[in-house]
Structure 1
Amino acid sequence: MNAPLLDCLEIETAPNPSHAVIWLHGLGADGHDFAPIVPELRLAATPAVRFVFPHAPVRPVTLNNGMAMRAWYDITLLASGAREDAGGIRESEAAVRALIARENQRGIATDHIVLAGFSQGCAMTLHTGTRLEQKLAGMIALSGYLPLADSFAAEHSQANLNTPIFMAHGVFDPVVQFAHGQASQRILAEAGFDVSWKTYPMPHSVCPEEITDIGAYLRQVLA
């Protein structure tokens, strides 16, 4: 499926990057949301990295009374087990795959690319990364869950079974319930994926300790 290229904010840590991090924002945010943390990740010793922060399309979101906002897919309810927007999820999967392909065209191999995301962006990272036919350098999955879990067993690829997945969640998260994230981690682990699970005393957000841990993870997988 061909998808139009999304508008993106890009930050390069040095000229001629050999690695890339494609970072997907949460519901109602945009690509600028996580750009400020790049200097905090302390990647000076790693090869040059291009951070790609795409802006999700604007679409009506049922959960928010049909208000149009940037979203990777529609959400009707926050509860685990709610009906999911499979069409929207697969449409956004195609858009993420198109961003990976563009990095390939710019000379960055897929195994030098990290997929990252927060909340809805986390869901898209796990959905796309586990189905990808090429090995990634890593996946960062923050405060989210694995969508379309019912089709996961039939659709996941073997290519990224050994790709380290950094999965993290706030124990006081009122938006994506802690148990929902934990259940997703269990599904991934039982399927044989190399997933680490970190928890932080925070709500639906990011904390300094988590940013420190993400930096350490990136220094490892981008080395």
Structure 2
Amino acid sequence: MAAPAMQRIVVPPAGKHTASVIFLHGSGDTGQGIRTWIKQVLNQDLSFQHIRLIYPTAPARPYTPMRGSLSNVWFDRYKISNDCPEHTETIDSMCQALTGLIDDEVKNGIKKNRILLGGFSMGGGMAMHLAYRFHQDVAGVFALSSFLNKNSGVYKALKKSEGEIPELFQCHGTADELVLYSWGDETSKMLKSLGVTTTFLSFPNLYHELNKSELEKLHTWILKKLPEDL
């Protein structure tokens, strides 16, 4: 039996669809939830003339940091820390499920190098696994308030990588009390040492949240990676 199709919210482009962004929400949220939050912060949708935005919703699964309660999370964690093993089984099965979304865009005529993967918090971590381990031919990756564990499978994959690696755009608040700023900074430095072109922007006094300036900078970066004129 095929897995049920992943729920998603789609913001179509205003004009001809020539590129796509897959934006993954943080733990416990939904595709609709992150879209609404972005809209509140920007006072408008994150939208483009030529880019389709896809906000999938993670399936509900037992989440260990919430004592096994069901939550919409991309993968399980043993704890919210960069200093423990990754929950490889759930990460890998979700990479397979999300590959279906990438394949759908390719079937719609969008080349892999015209697709960006990214997200907020856990969504950014998921996007890094998806791109750097399985889809190194995408246009780029963005991670807002995100991190990778110290022994991440992403680092292992990049050590073996021989081709071109997607660029990473990272933002992190210095006052983040859930995903520590140092974890994001360490992730950026580690990826850079493995050959990833990284941009790491610090936002003073920003907690674990989205911010207007950050989203405006992300908008600019998306247009740089996926320009309208091919």
Structure 1 residues 64 and 160: alpha-carbon distance in aligned structure 2, compared to 1, 3 A threshold? farther
Cα contact 2:47–2:53 (8 A) shared by 1: no
- Provide the residue aligned with 1:25 in structure 2: 25
TM-aligned CA deviation for residue 160 of structure 1: 4.6
Task: Give me the TM-score of the superposition, normalised by structure 2.
Answer: 0.87
* SS, match of residue 119 in structure 2: strand
* SS, match of residue 54 in structure 2: strand
The unaligned stretches of length 5 or more in structure 1 are none
1:216 aligns with 2:187: no
- Provide the residue aligned with 1:43 in structure 2: 48
1:170 aligns with 2:152: no
CA distance in 1, matches of 2:33, 2:225: 23
1:12-46 per-residue CA deviation (whole Å, 9 max, x = no partner) reads 122541110001111000001232436454634xx
Structure 1 residues 152 and 78: alpha-carbon distance in aligned structure 2, compared to 1, 3 A threshold? same
1:75-103 per-residue CA deviation (whole Å, 9 max, x = no partner) reads 23112212321101111111121111110
CA distance in 2, matches of 1:42, 1:73: 28
Total equivalences in the alignment: 218
TM-aligned CA deviation for residue 164 of structure 1: 2.4
1:132-181 per-residue CA deviation (whole Å, 9 max, x = no partner) reads 345212211111112473433432344452x3211111111111111111
TM-aligned CA deviation for residue 4 of structure 1: 5.2
1:192 aligns with 2:195: yes
CA distance in 2, matches of 1:69, 1:150: 23
1:149 aligns with 2:154: no
The unaligned stretches of length 5 or more in structure 2 are none
CA distance in 2, matches of 1:146, 1:77: 13
Percent identity (aligned): 27
1:61 aligns with 2:63: yes
1:98-133 per-residue CA deviation (whole Å, 9 max, x = no partner) reads 111110011111100010111110111111111234
Equivalent residue letter for 2:223 = R
Equivalent residue letter for 2:202 = T
Structure 1 residues 79 and 168: alpha-carbon distance in aligned structure 2, compared to 1, 3 A threshold? same
TM-aligned CA deviation for residue 219 of structure 1: 1.6
